[in-house]
Amino acid sequence: MINSKSCGYCKQFLSEVFPEFNISKFPIIIIDDEDKPEWFSKALKENKIKPYRGTPYFIIWDEIEKYEINRIVGYLDRDTFYRDLKKKLLLHMNK
């Protein structure tokens, strides 16, 4: 998750979903938009992660192949997030 400390939607996600999220195959790693880790910046430069604007962004990352599988843009509520996540994962599994 690309997070901004000033983002209200990020704060909402972190209070509504993050504490209960328990899908070990897809852990949530919080990336501070103002202080990205080196591996993330490198993946952006190498086009393994597509450019993004704003927060929150949820990058669905293939840790084995080291590239972005898909993404969820923004956050509305818990149910919408899980519905979108399920759709994105099913799309990837059916490829």
Q: What is the pLDDT of residues 39-55, one digit of tens each?
A: 999 999 999 999 999 99
- pLDDT band at residue 77 under the 50/70/90 scheme: very high
Q: Is residue 95 predicted with pLDDT exceeding 70? A: no
The candidate with the shortest Cα–Cα distance to 23, out of 68, 86, 66, is 86
pLDDT at 94: 67
Amino acid letter, 55: T
pLDDT at 63: 87
Segment 1-29 shows an average pLDDT of: 94
Q: Which conformational region is residue 17 in: left (phi greater than 0), alpha (psi within -120 to 50 degrees), or beta?
A: alpha
**How many helices (H) does the chain have, and how many strands (E)?**
3, 4
Q: What is the pTM of this model?
A: 0.89
* Element containing residue 84 per DSSP (H, E): helix 78-93
The candidate with the shortest Cα–Cα distance to 57, out of 82, 35, 32, 78, is 32
